[in-house]
Amino acid sequence: MKKLIMVVLLMMPFHLSAVEATKNEIVKELVVVMDMDSMMDSMRQHIENSMLNVQQQLNVTESEKPLFEEYYKNVNKLVLEEVTWEKFEPYIISIYSNHFSEEELKGMIDFYSSDVGQSILKKMPVVMQESMLMSQSMLQRILPQMQTLTAAFESELKAHRNK
């Protein structure tokens, strides 16, 4: 009996490893169906647009443009080296494997393989961008009030600590 228990316990890591490998393969299939690797292109484009906004926000003059261009070149090089699907994929696989069951992953594959799922995937980047812009706009509107509340809290905290 002890030998049987020992054999079962020794085999468990192999079984769990096989289950995890299967789940990872399912996530990889979902990645393909959802065309997740193209997200990296969108991310890089977003960073590039942000860099152009930085140039405008800093009011870079003509004489300062060479400095900014050098900075931009260095940031762009860093982004091209670091924001890659090869570096991103293991995290995506881990996140999806940790939070979704095989059944849920297969359901997502079925859905995103459908015409409706593909249509949603095509629209989602614009929906997300508009949602983020709306959120930023809302936060910008309340930022002065938040700063006032924070300053008042800091004053109260300072007074409390000086008692």
pLDDT at residue 7, rounded to an integer: 56
Q: Domain span at residue 109?
A: 2-113
Buried b (16+ CB within 10 A) or exposed e, 58-93: eebeeeeeeeeeebbeeeeeebeeebeeeebbeebb
Residue 119 lies in a domain: no
Identify the domain boundary among 73, 92, 113.
113
Say if residue 106 is in the same domain as residue 138: no
60 with 89, same domain?
yes
- The answer to whether residues 108 and 132 belong to one domain is no
pLDDT of 20 > 70? The answer is no
Residue at 133 is within a domain: yes
Domain assignment of residue 9, yes or no: yes
Q: Is residue 97 part of a domain?
A: yes
> Same structural domain for residues 100 and 138?
no
23 domain residue, yes or no? yes
Are residues 109 and 129 located together in one domain of the fold? no
The answer to whether residue 161 is domain-embedded is yes
Which residues are within 8 A (CB) of 80 and not within 5 positions of it... i.e. 6 or more apart?
A: 44
Do residue 92 and residue 132 come from a single domain?
no
pTM, 2 dp:
0.64
State the CB neighbour count (10 A cutoff) for residue 108: 19
Quote the tokens at residue 135: 């959120």
Number of domain units in the chain: 2
pLDDT band at 16 (very low <50, low <70, confident <90, very high): very low
108 and 134 both lie in a single domain: no
Tokens 């009011």 belong to which residue?
Answer: 59
Give pLDDT tens digits for 84-112.
889 989 999 999 999 999 999 999 999 99
